[in-house]
Amino acid sequence: METWAGFCPGLHLCLGIWVMIAAHTLQNANAEITCASCPSPLQLNQEELRLVMRTDQAVEPGTLKNIRVEFRELRFQNTGVAEDHETGVPVEDVLLFSQDNSLNGVNIKEDTLEFSEESKRGSRRDTEPEMSDDAALQRAKRSGPEFIEFSESGWTGRTGLEVAAPEDRGSLLDGQKQGRSEFRWNRDEGRESTRQAEPKLTSSTFSLTGDSAHNHAVVYWSGQNSSVILILTKLYDFHIGSVTESTLWRSTDYGSTYERMNDKVGSRTVLSYLYVCPTNKRKIMVLTDPEFESSVLISSDEGASYQKYRLTFYILSLLFHPTEEDWALAYSHDQKLYSSVDFGRKWQLIHEHVTPNRFYWSVSGLDKEPDLVHMEAHTPDGNVQYVTCRAQMCTETNRNYPFTGYIDISSLVVQDDYIFIQVPTSGRATYYVSYKRDPFIQIKLPKYSLPKDLHIVSTDEKQVFAAVQEWNQNDTYNLYLSDTRGIYFTLAMENVKTTRGIGGNQMLDLYEVAGIKGMLIANKRQDNQVKTYITYNKGRDWRLLQAPATDLDGNDIHCILPFCSLHLQLQMSENPYLSGTISTKSSAPGIIMATGNIGAELSYNNVGMFISSDAGNSWRQIFEEEHNVWFLDKGGALVAVKQPSVPTRHLWVSFDEGRQWTQHSFSSVPLFVDGVLVEAGAENQIMTFFGHFSHRSEWQLIKIDYKSIFTRKCTEEDYQTWHLHNQGEPCVMGQKQIYMKRRPGNYCMLGKDYSRILSAESCICRAHDFECDYGYERRGDGNCRPAFWFNPSTLSTSCSQGQNYLNSTGYRKVVLNNCTKGVKEMYTARKQQCPNRPPKGLLLTTKDGKLTANLGINVTFLVHLDEGDSLRTNIQLDFGDGTAVSYSNLSWTEEGIKHVYKSAGIFRVTALAENMLGYDTTTLFLHVTCPVEHIQLLAPFVVIRNKEVNITAVVLPTHSRTVTYFWWLGNNTEPVITLDGSISYTFPNEGMHTITVQVAAANAILQDTKTIAVKEFFKSLLLSFSPNLDEFNPDIPEWRQDVGRVIKKALLQVSDFPEEQLLVAVFPGVPTAAELFLLPHKNKSEDKKKSEEELDKMSDIIVSALNQNFVEFELKPGVRVIVYNTQLTLAPLVDSNPRHNSSAMLMLLSVVFLGLAVFLIYKFKRKIPWINIYAEVNQEKEQEMIGSVGQGDSTPKITLSEFSTTKELMEKEVDARVKRGVSNACESTREIPNCTSV
């Protein structure tokens, strides 16, 4: 190629003189590069700007975008191909670079990834203290981890980004010279055998003047032959967490010039997000920042004009319909889902409390209604359900629930032919799948995989790829592949490496090569080493990568398998406009470019760029440092640019699949490249570079028309055939595939996708075309044998006599493998007739997997039979409460067997499966609980030391053997746990002791506490009151405590008895009664006789005052209450020691007195509840039985309507237990469930 001077020989003399003068001048000149629109001198600094780009570039359908596993609670979710704007993610939800240099500058919203710009550029790759001028632009050696991770000072990354210490940051290019590395060929800039003249590229640069302070930018090029480019720049304030300024730019000439659009959207309008309709790129939706206003601006002419519509909610994300251009779903900040059918002009609420990112449009061909919405919604009680409804008709009556039970949060995935959910269980995770909208079926993983986490990787090739983290794994996952229905999964690779990515995301090192079906590359951890493996048959067989034979200098590389091999980094770039560490393209089959190293294991040091032109069979090294590499001209050419950590003004182009590279200049000033937009238009040869000259400069947009590097258009003679093979084996995925692609080295322009399969001839089936079937494992000899836990003779219960079934040979054909004949018949499952067999493996469970149920609620039982003829096996189910059902065959029980229990208790539920050949039984014990509403602890107020006392807790409604009691007695730190509501205890020490009881029933726990005085002896008097007190008795504990304190105060006014020796306890109930306890002084307990005399004397004084009506108190103004003595002493000088000098007469009087006391206790039992406790323990012990009883009307019941207050119900309960020793039923007119004892 000739330069422009070659056309004018007459100018050679003038040109030569000019060159001499320029050379002399440059010897004394500083290498400062200046321009009118950029600051001088050029330098790197801590503070840089951000760039976000977006286009309609289609994601390669065969490329697994570096599976992202988000660590929330490691929920079941889809982590396959990253969403683009067609799935409703705003166009800026890609890599963002921030000016902020701390973690406060990191803002991850939805899937938006934002990074500290200080880490992006401005830190050295090497830590040498000085850099020469010539070395300023040389490559930076890689150090540190490959994956992007956060640190306190910023982040390091795969794209050549690494955080240095603060003292290491600063100017790297201050006063630099243009070194020879800018103008010469060497290994730093690629390899070529012969120096070629540099072709001139047509380029133009545009600066977004006035936006240098803006730290966010969104770039969108719609493509489809459109010349319109939209750019939204924003100033994001990290301190307040919102956008404060924005500018919208629009170009109509592929980026040569831009127009500021602020006047057309409103000069004071602050914009935050930009969306483009995926099915009509002319339609654009721009959202305003909600801190200023909540509005949407709509354009139907590619952003030339806008209409503003007010919103009543703040949109967090949008999801456009895959076919209808005006239909969209909007998710709000308050977890509400809205729908619009007029491209955002009007919105209608679909559902509240929807899980973020768990809503989906219908799938064409599977869902009957095109406006059907799948979503994961929360119920008022906190559970999660899978809900479907139509977008504009989503009332409660129109909603459907395809899965009847509850599901785990963030587990719904609707993708292609499949729907996945995870069901909450008490122990293991259980996953279900619906194939083509059939009923949900439980996913079958190997029995002892016991997954901690499961992620859907891919579903686009008529089977499911799943990454499963098993119980014994921490930083690796196992890769499983399913059958076509997504039910039965088999192991494809163990211990696939993961890498922690942005914001704690886990990245699975698995890559699917675009353009070649069944080809995967994965990094596997084995023996504390990570190695790269490749497969050509979807994981059936894996092998290591053969390293290149020579290095860039032509020196031999002695790398012998399996001790040494090539290892690749398989992370995709978080920024879709940087190529990442590995790249393939469906229009360029067989070409793989990746960053890697040669050695015994994967390393992130001393890495280089490698390329394969024959689908991974052989590799060549193309650079000694990391580059971003893209496909040009539909894959016919390659373009490479250094990683963005170093500024550059050159790019390199190869037309021979990376063997030779040609250098081209795209800018007169070195540019920090934030991203490259390649082939946005369908019929143009334009790419756009985005970046900055320095941290102070405006956004630089460089448009490059690379049409000039081609000499002509390609003709048929420029193409050749290429045979896909695997180490010489021509049959890949069961067929011989021959591709047509451009001959390497031909400088011609494709213009359209010429890469295609010329022929695909089916091969004869061989063993490597078949993988192990479910339940089988591949042994050392290569054969598939049953796993120890799998019984190959087990048949499905749906296999009925007279029908046929497929008997597995232990193998199944790899999905989408096209081989024929050969060993196909040998390995294919054989059709056999279903035998008649007895039932085995009967299993009875509840639908929610729990062994508890609330009273009055439907309980659904599920019956599962491992073996047996489901159509000829009778099923009987005894619910344990006197009710049983019977079904003629198992098919009637598929939806579950429902039953409502009318009483609380523990029920023995038994299932029986029986046919002519035998039977099988199973049993479970179900706890049916009635919610506890109230608890009251009944205990005496004063007890004798070393004397056993009975303490009772009464609960309402009453329960039988379904309540657990926790008792804290005295100073014990550990509770005593009982199933009975009564307990006996002996207090060994005097003093005030606290008793606490907790009652646990179902999900409720109630508590009550009492304080008991423990003494060696005491004296007590019963008190009554004038009737007017009953009119003001609300019968609550607080009132009784206050009245007791007032009574005590009144008694102290008529006696000089010490306050601490008086205890007044007011009894529950009406008429109001109380008991006065006279306690000995704590220091005089040893002198018992003297203390007793003092108590007798004080008792006489108080009785005399009571009899003369001297004891009274004012309850409220005008209401005075008189305290009386009831002439009964419950415990006259109770003593713990026997009196040896008592006479026979005293004994006789004591017996008479005791008889009188018993009679009065019975008559006044409402006033002395703790006496009932003593009486209760004399009753016979309740029968301990779990068996069923009838639920007929003869069961005794007591309704709460018979009582005026809750305490009356308690007292009647105690009374009934005293009389009959039988627990009562409880039935409430307030619809409290009946709790009949069992």
What confidence score (pLDDT) does residue 216 get? Answer: 80
Tell me how far apart the alpha carbons of residues 448 and 430 are, in angstroms, rounded to a whole number.
Answer: 13
Confidence of residue 717 (pLDDT cuts 50, 70, 90): confident
Contact, 64 vs 133, CB < 8 A?
Answer: no
DSSP 671: B
Determine the residue type at 663: Q
Tell me how far apart the alpha carbons of residues 748 and 709 are, in angstroms, rounded to a whole number.
Answer: 9
What confidence score (pLDDT) does residue 1166 get? Answer: 42
What confidence score (pLDDT) does residue 637 get? Answer: 85
Higher pLDDT, 267 or 438: 438
Higher pLDDT, 750 or 452: 452
Confidence of residue 224 (pLDDT cuts 50, 70, 90): low
Return the beta strands (E) in 708-824 as ranges: 712-713, 719-723, 731-732, 735-742, 748-749, 756-762, 770-772, 776-778, 784-786, 804-807, 811-813
Specify the DSSP element, H or E, that contains 1109: none
Per-residue model confidence as pLDDT tens digits over 687-704: 888 888 887 778 888 888
Per-residue model confidence as pLDDT tens digits over 85-116: 344 434 433 333 333 333 232 232 333 323 23
Segment 281-301 shows an average pLDDT of 91
Torsion of CA 701, 707, 708, 714, to 10 degrees: 160
- Residues ≥6 apart with Cβ < 8 Å to 282: 222, 300, 301, 302
Weakest-pLDDT range from 712-716, 754-758, 997-1001 = 754-758
What confidence score (pLDDT) does residue 291 get? Answer: 84
What confidence score (pLDDT) does residue 668 get? Answer: 86
What confidence score (pLDDT) does residue 198 get? Answer: 53
What confidence score (pLDDT) does residue 511 get? Answer: 94
Residue 849 has pLDDT above 90, yes or no: no
Segment 1135-1164 shows an average pLDDT of 48
Residue 1079 has pLDDT above 60, yes or no: yes
Confidence of residue 363 (pLDDT cuts 50, 70, 90): very high
What confidence score (pLDDT) does residue 413 get? Answer: 96
Segment 743-761 shows an average pLDDT of 77
Residue 339 has pLDDT above 80, yes or no: yes
What confidence score (pLDDT) does residue 1132 get? Answer: 42
- Residues ≥6 apart with Cβ < 8 Å to 1054: 1101, 1102, 1105, 1110, 1111
**Other CB atoms within 10 Å distance of the CB of residue 1004:** 13
What confidence score (pLDDT) does residue 1149 get? Answer: 53
Confidence of residue 572 (pLDDT cuts 50, 70, 90): confident
What confidence score (pLDDT) does residue 856 get? Answer: 85
Determine the residue type at 1199: T
What confidence score (pLDDT) does residue 679 get? Answer: 64
Contact, 775 vs 792, CB < 8 A?
Answer: yes
Tell me how far apart the alpha carbons of residues 627 and 609 are, in angstroms, rounded to a whole number.
Answer: 7
Residue 724 has pLDDT above 90, yes or no: yes
Segment 1015-1026 shows an average pLDDT of 88
What confidence score (pLDDT) does residue 645 get? Answer: 77
Q: Indicate the pairing of strand 113-116 with strand 95-98.
A: parallel
Tell me how far apart the alpha carbons of residues 242 and 263 are, in angstroms, rounded to a whole number.
Answer: 22
**Other CB atoms within 10 Å distance of the CB of residue 1154:** 10
Please choose, from the candidates 205, 251, 199, the residue with its C-alpha nearest in 3D space to the C-alpha of residue 230: 251
Residue 1211 has pLDDT above 90, yes or no: no
Segment 600-607 shows an average pLDDT of 93
Tell me how far apart the alpha carbons of residues 1122 and 1105 are, in angstroms, rounded to a whole number.
Answer: 11
Weakest-pLDDT range from 28-32, 642-646, 665-669, 1153-1157 = 28-32
What confidence score (pLDDT) does residue 621 get? Answer: 95
Tell me how far apart the alpha carbons of residues 82 and 67 are, in angstroms, rounded to a whole number.
Answer: 8
Instruction: Respond yes or no on whether the N-terminal peptide bond of residue 1071 is cis (omega within 30° of 0).
Output: yes
What confidence score (pLDDT) does residue 529 get? Answer: 95
Q: Indicate the pairing of strand 202-207 with strand 942-944.
A: unpaired
- Residues ≥6 apart with Cβ < 8 Å to 846: 853, 859, 860, 861, 862, 924, 926
What confidence score (pLDDT) does residue 718 get? Answer: 86
Tell me how far apart the alpha carbons of residues 53 and 94 are, in angstroms, rounded to a whole number.
Answer: 7
Q: Which of 155-169, 212-226, 447-461, 532-546 has the highest mean pLDDT?
A: 532-546
Confidence of residue 545 (pLDDT cuts 50, 70, 90): very high
Query: What is the distance in angstroms between the CA of the first residue and the CA of the last residue of the chain?
Result: 100
Determine the residue type at 712: R
What confidence score (pLDDT) does residue 503 get? Answer: 62
- Three-class DSSP category at 895: coil
Determine the residue type at 1236: T
Please choose, from the candidates 698, 782, 805, 833, the residue with its C-alpha nearest in 3D space to the C-alpha of residue 49: 698
Specify the DSSP element, H or E, that contains 262: helix 262-265
What's the full length of the chain, in residues?
A: 1238
Q: Which of 87-101, 337-351, 1038-1052 has the highest mean pLDDT?
A: 337-351
Contact, 1198 vs 1224, CB < 8 A?
Answer: yes
Contact, 619 vs 610, CB < 8 A?
Answer: yes
Confidence of residue 74 (pLDDT cuts 50, 70, 90): very low
Instruction: Tell me phi and psi for residue 1149, to 5 degrees.
Output: -65, -35
Higher pLDDT, 964 or 27: 964
Mean residue pLDDT of the chain comes to: 75
**R_g of the chain computed on alpha carbons:** 42
Query: Cα angle at 28 between 23 and 30, to 5 degrees?
Result: 105
Residue 740 has pLDDT above 80, yes or no: yes
Residue 387 has pLDDT above 90, yes or no: yes
Instruction: Tell me phi and psi for residue 1032, to 5 degrees.
Output: -115, 20
Higher pLDDT, 926 or 1016: 926
Confidence of residue 142 (pLDDT cuts 50, 70, 90): very low
Confidence of residue 774 (pLDDT cuts 50, 70, 90): very high
- Determine what percent of the chain is predicted with pLDDT higher than 90: 34
What confidence score (pLDDT) does residue 153 get? Answer: 29
Q: What Å distances lie between residue 231 and 97, 216, 452, CA to CA?
A: 16, 10, 43
Higher pLDDT, 1171 or 1148: 1148
- Residue 310 β-bridge partners: 295
Tell me how far apart the alpha carbons of residues 847 and 834 are, in angstroms, rounded to a whole number.
Answer: 29
Structure tokens at 996: 């606490």
Per-residue model confidence as pLDDT tens digits over 787-833: 999 988 877 767 777 788 888 999 999 999 999 999 999 999 998 88
Residue 992 has pLDDT above 90, yes or no: no
Query: Cα angle at 723 between 719 and 726, to 5 degrees?
Result: 145
What confidence score (pLDDT) does residue 743 get? Answer: 85
What confidence score (pLDDT) does residue 364 get? Answer: 92
- Three-class DSSP category at 60: coil
Contact, 1074 vs 1064, CB < 8 A?
Answer: yes
Label residue 1193 exposed, middle or buried (CB < 10 Å: 0-12, 13-18, 19+). Answer: exposed
Tell me how far apart the alpha carbons of residues 580 and 348 are, in angstroms, rounded to a whole number.
Answer: 41
Tell me how far apart the alpha carbons of residues 566 and 446 are, in angstroms, rounded to a whole number.
Answer: 32
Segment 868-892 shows an average pLDDT of 87
- Residue 115 β-bridge partners: 97
